[in-house]
Structure 1
Amino acid sequence: FLSCILLDIDYFKKFNDTYGHQTGDIVLRTLGQVIKDSIRDSDFAARYGGEEFTIVLYHTDRPAAFHVAERLRQMVEHCDVRDNDNVLHITISLGVATFPHEQILEYKQIVECADKALYKAKDNGRNRVECYGTEKLKIVKGTNPEIVK
């Protein structure tokens, strides 16, 4: 299995608008360190853009990927971000997508599925983990995965 976690800092724009971009950068660096400390050496994490990060978990099925994502969510929720006299608390929303190795077509498709799960997490109240693929997947090579109801 290959799992992808896509995560986003909840209300990050508010941090930049309220405390400035320098504090926003501290938030990003702090989150990056928490992510680095939370994954195995064999996994891969990167800033995906803005306040989004992606994590690739090799040889990790959906329950294990959910566990990693939930543990990360809790670590971030209880992490203090310090900037001068300010102690800030952040939360993250996470989307998880998992595919068997033989079903993986392109990394882009996995990220798109994780992104759908991420937006489900945001729509359901933020500061949570949602998994893509609890429905049956229909994957046709060269197209985006579709949910079959």
Structure 2
Amino acid sequence: MRISIQEAPFDLGQEADQFAAGRVDMGAIVTFTGVVRNSAKGDLAAMEIEHYPGMTEKAIEAIAQQAKDRWSLGDVMVIHRYGRLVPGDKIMMVATASPHRVDAFEAAEFLMDYLKSRAPFWKKEFAADGADWVAAKDEDEDALSRW
């Protein structure tokens, strides 16, 4: 299991290749990458992501372990960036490896729902008309409730 909370960009292809390397016992590798999207008005200049070092890693490690306990997973990887990001930047990546695709897909969705709604990150968006903290969305909480 690998959890990385980092400021630096990551190479999606390289990370996926390293995660999948040598996994002859795994029949499914699922990856998901989140990208900073522009606002509906098209005026997002940047997003700042904050976290508490140590606490964030422990929280994500705990949920990744829950995924490993719940589904038949050979491995889990979560990369999440912090700092200043602009539209188009990769913000995070989840990868799961399992003997069968259903477990890999479901575990990846579970992790994504957790990261979107409960992971200890704070996001602030900067646009032409000012800056605002990103509020929790009901649909994100609803998605998490299915697990």
TM superposition score category, shorter chain reference? 0.3 to 0.5
- Alignment TM-score, normalising by the size of structure 1: 0.36
The structure, 1 or 2, with the larger RCO (C-alpha pairs under 8 Å, 6+ apart) is 2
